[in-house]
């Protein structure tokens, strides 16, 4: 346990952890408050859907360019600016709550989605810059992940209480105040590291970041596998409520129980990752992804709510391990100079790819039934996992990570030589 908490002794890391938690809680509070505002003002499911498109899919296009634009700044300046801008955005949204204008609400909500995703990417990059030299990247990511999952579990409940008790406008003002406080916290964090990307324009840095990933087979295949996995992870999200209320005939309480089971599992998974400090990242990626796929299959075949909730808890545990294991692996395989851009790429993928899954899940449920959507999602996740294991079967993760750590200022235009073969089969860690 003492080892797991060592990152908190790294200067400025505690402030990054607080910012990460507030970002997640603020995202939930803002998203739920805005969803209630838009639906109450318009009565239109289409307008509410437009809000979620702006929040989740616009960042897929805008986050990487914004991160490339500001990554050369000192971390405390770039992060403080992003959080302060979020505070201003939520202040404007609070005004719009009293003087409603749909187009303006959708535009500012999309802007906040971009700012939030960019802040997450730069926070991860700053944390990696502080933690990797001390050999504490994994432990630090465990702490960030616990905050992330705690925010995801508590955020919706907190948002519901604040909106119900104080109203939408008060919730948006509270969100603005929280982001302003975090901006002040980070602006005074003098120990935050400063990135040193190449002195090119934004487009050139974006191209160099893409080239960097493309030239590194293990990193490229890992990100590509996750991109496809995101599609199948998201297949069930639009039909969870229909599955719980109609297929299982469990009503609103059953839907809540299904979601709560997954959330509780995520919290357990985040603590499990922290406790499994010596387990290999490839093994954790395999078993956590397998748990998610098996959970979807189990939910799809569940004869009752209790069985579905048990399977959902297993999937949540896998979810709580899978994302942080992936982030840690990607950061370990990425040189310091490209951390922000590569993590921003992951954020963009995480925003864009679920949209495909939403469509697939809805079409399958409408054509067949919700159980079919769950079964398709489970089978798809396991198929992606099998393909990834095969594609990366001969990869030497330790060697690739060591090469990235020794390459703080690589020239992305230069071709990357393949690593030498391992000394013995025991040296190879496979996905």
Return the higher-pLDDT residue of 293 and 15: 293
Q: Which of 147, 176, 196 is the last residue of a domain?
A: 196
Label residue 136 by pLDDT band (50, 70, 90). Answer: confident
Q: What is the pLDDT of residue 54?
A: 82
For 266, the domain range is 200-405
Closest CA to 138 of 288, 290, 275: 275
When divided into structural domains, the chain yields a total of 2
Residue 417 counted as domain residue = no
Is the per-residue pLDDT at 95 higher than 90? Answer: yes
pLDDT of residue 423: 38
At residue 195, the pLDDT reads 60
pLDDT tier at 263, thresholds 50, 70, 90: confident
Residue 17: pLDDT over 80 = yes
Average of pLDDT values for 108-120? 91
**Mean pLDDT across 293-318:** 95
Instruction: Note the pLDDT tens digit of each residue in 334-387.
Output: 988 888 899 999 989 988 898 888 889 888 988 998 899 999 999 999 999 999
- The answer to the question of residue 423 being in a domain is no
Q: Residue range 84-97: average pLDDT?
A: 94
State whether 216 and 303 are in the same domain: yes
Q: Name all contacts of 128-132 with Cβ < 8 Å and 24+ positions apart.
A: 128/331, 128/336, 128/339, 129/75, 129/193, 129/195, 129/336, 129/339, 130/10, 130/11, 130/12, 130/13, 130/16, 130/191, 130/192, 130/193, 131/7, 131/10, 131/13, 132/331, 132/336, 132/405
Is the pLDDT reported for residue 268 higher than 50?
yes
* pLDDT at site 410: 42
pLDDT for residue 72: 81
Model pLDDT, residue 3: 64
Share of the chain above pLDDT 70, in %: 91
- Predicted local confidence at residue 422, as pLDDT: 41
pLDDT classification of 197: cutoffs 50, 70, 90: low
**DSSP-derived secondary structure letter, 188:** T
H/E stretch holding 192: none
| Domain-located, residue 427 | no
What per-residue confidence (pLDDT) applies to 421? 43
pLDDT at 68 over 70: yes
CA torsion, ordered 213, 214, 218, 219, to nearest 10 deg: 20
User: Does residue 207 belong to any structural domain of this protein?
Assistant: yes
The Cα-based distances of 322 to 137, 226, 273, 307, 327 in angstroms read 16, 10, 9, 23, 9
Span 283-312, average pLDDT: 96
Q: Give yes or no: residues 138 and 209 share one domain.
A: no
The answer on 281 and 305 residing in a single domain is yes
Are residues 184 and 13 in contact, defined by beta-carbon separation less than 8 angstroms?
Answer: no
Nearest residue to 77 via CA among 193, 173, 171, 250: 193
Mean pLDDT of 310-321: 95
Write down the pLDDT at residue 244: 87
Clarify whether residues 114 and 254 are in a common domain: no
pTM for this structure? 0.82
pLDDT of 193 higher than 80: no
pLDDT of residue 430: 36
Please give the torsion angle defined by the CA atoms of residues 29, 192, 13 and 401, in that order, rounded to the nearest 10 degrees: 110
Query: CATH no. for residue 64?
Result: 1.20.1250.20
Q: 39 and 51 share a domain?
A: yes
User: Stretch 156-183: mean pLDDT, rounded?
Assistant: 86
56 or 138: which leads in pLDDT: 138
**165 with 252, same domain?**
no
What is the pLDDT averaged over residues 6-33? 85
Return the pLDDT at 418: 45
Specify whether 294 is located in the same domain as 310. Answer: yes
Q: Is residue 422 part of a domain?
A: no
Q: Sign of the C-alpha dihedral, residues 195, 200, 202, 207?
A: negative
d(CA 379, CA 324): 23
Write down which residue in 196, 221, 241 finishes a domain.
196
Residue-wise pLDDT for 271-296, tens only, equals: 899 888 788 999 999 999 999 999 99
Q: Does residue 191 sit in the same domain as residue 215?
A: no
Contacts of 320 (CB under 8 A, 6+ apart): 145, 149, 265, 266, 267, 268, 269, 270, 271, 272, 273, 288
**Residue 413, in any domain of the structure:** no
Cβ(197)–Cβ(344) under 8 Å? no
In a domain, 10, yes or no: yes
Residues 158 and 285 reside in one and the same domain: no
Same domain membership, residue 254 and residue 215: yes
Least confident of 209-213, 231-235, 273-277, 368-372: 273-277
Within-domain flag for 416: no
Q: Which of 5-19, 164-178, 380-394, 413-427 has the highest mean pLDDT?
A: 380-394
Mean pLDDT of the residues in the chain = 85
* φ/ψ of residue 182, rounded to 5: -65, -40
> Does one domain contain both 150 and 207?
no
Q: Are 272 and 185 in a shared domain?
A: no
For the cut 90, the answer to whether the pLDDT of residue 249 exceeds it is: no
């Amino acid at each position: 346990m003492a080892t797991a908490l060592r990152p908190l002794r790294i200067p400025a890391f505690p402030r990054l952890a607080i910012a990460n938690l507030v970002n997640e809680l603020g995202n939930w509070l803002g998203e739920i408050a805005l969803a209630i505002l838009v639906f109450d003002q318009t009565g239109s499911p289409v307008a509410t859907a437009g809000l979620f498109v702006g929040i989740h899919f616009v960042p897929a296009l805008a986050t990487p360019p914004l991160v490339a634009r500001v990554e050369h700044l000192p971390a405390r300046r770039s992060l403080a600016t992003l959080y302060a801008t979020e505070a201003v955005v939520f202040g404007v949204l609070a005004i719009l709550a009293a003087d409603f204008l749909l187009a303006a609400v959708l535009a500012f909500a999309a802007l906040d989605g971009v700012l939030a995703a960019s802040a997450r990417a730069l926070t991860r990059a700053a944390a990696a810059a502080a933690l990797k030299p001390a050999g504490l990247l994994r432990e630090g990511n465990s702490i960030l992940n616990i905050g992330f999952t705690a925010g995801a579990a508590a955020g919706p409940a907190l948002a519901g209480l604040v909106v119900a008790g104080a109203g939408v406008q008060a919730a948006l003002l509270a969100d603005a105040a929280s982001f302003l406080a975090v901006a002040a916290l980070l602006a005074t964090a003098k120990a935050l590291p400063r990135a040193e990307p190449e002195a090119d324009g934004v487009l050139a840095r974006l191209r160099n970041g893409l080239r960097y990933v493309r030239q590194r087979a293990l990193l490229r295949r890992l990100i590509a596998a996750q991109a496809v996995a995101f599609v199948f992870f998201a297949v069930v999200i639009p039909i969870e409520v229909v599955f719980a209320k109609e297929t299982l005939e469990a009503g609103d309480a059953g839907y809540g129980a299904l979601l709560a089971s997954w959330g509780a599992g995520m919290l357990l998974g985040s603590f499990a990752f922290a406790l499994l400090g010596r387990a290999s990242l490839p093994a954790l990626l395999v078993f956590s992804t397998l748990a998610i796929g098996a959970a979807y299959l189990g939910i799809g075949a569940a004869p009752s709510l209790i069985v579905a909730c048990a399977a959902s808890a297993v999937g949540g545990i896998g979810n709580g391990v899978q994302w942080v294991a992936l982030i840690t692996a990607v950061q370990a395989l990425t040189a310091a100079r490209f951390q922000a851009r590569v993590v921003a790429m992951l954020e963009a993928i995480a925003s864009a790819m679920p949209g495909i899954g939403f469509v697939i899940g809805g079409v399958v449920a409408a054509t067949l039934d919700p159980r079919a959507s769950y079964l398709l999602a489970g089978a798809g996740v396991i198929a992606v996992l099998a393909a990834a294991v095969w594609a990366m079967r001969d990869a030497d993760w330790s060697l690739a990570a060591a090469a990235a750590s020794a390459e703080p200022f690589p020239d992305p235009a230069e071709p990357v030589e393949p690593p030498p073969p391992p000394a013995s089969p025991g040296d190879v860690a496979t996905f």
